[in-house]
Amino acid sequence: MKFLKELIPYIVILIIVILIRSFLITPIKVNGQSMYDTLTGDEIMLLYKIGEIKRYDMVVADLIVDGKKDDTLIKRVYGLPDETIKCENGNIYINDHKIDDPYATNETEDFEAVTLGEDEYFLLGDNRTISMDSRIIGPVHRKDIEGHTNLIIWPFNKFGVIE
């Protein structure tokens, strides 16, 4: 009985950690160069699973192919639900208004207008020449976005909040 009483605090801590990782915040590893030069592909970041998704947020999304999760992507949100997004002459337009594109490391190739549904987002990688993003895979549904991120926790020389 004494052993069981000593074990209870550890069980409670374990349950709390599992709940936090499942529903609030979890570490993620960045792979690839599609977000270069914001991210170089060796960072570990914290993923926030709750909160509103805004334009320019970096999000982690599941790539769904034939109804199954194929990969996990980290991209930046450009188009929000119910907006129309297009690129003409290297400029991005939301609902026919040119927007700033402060994160692109190279020119964005033109793409036709895409009108997003009420739960869809248009995601772009910062390194547009190699990024597999919504220009290729199409809009991403909210249910396929795991959360947003902006805090690098590893390596320590990059530790901090990024945009």
Q: Which residues are catalytic?
A: 34, 75
Tell me how many degrees the CA angle 47-37-141 measures, rounded to the nearest 5: 45
The total of other beta-carbon atoms located within 10 Å of residue 133's CB is 21
For the chain, the residue count is 163
Rounded CA Rg of the chain: 19
Residue 141 CB partners (closer than 8 Å, separation 6+): 119, 120, 121
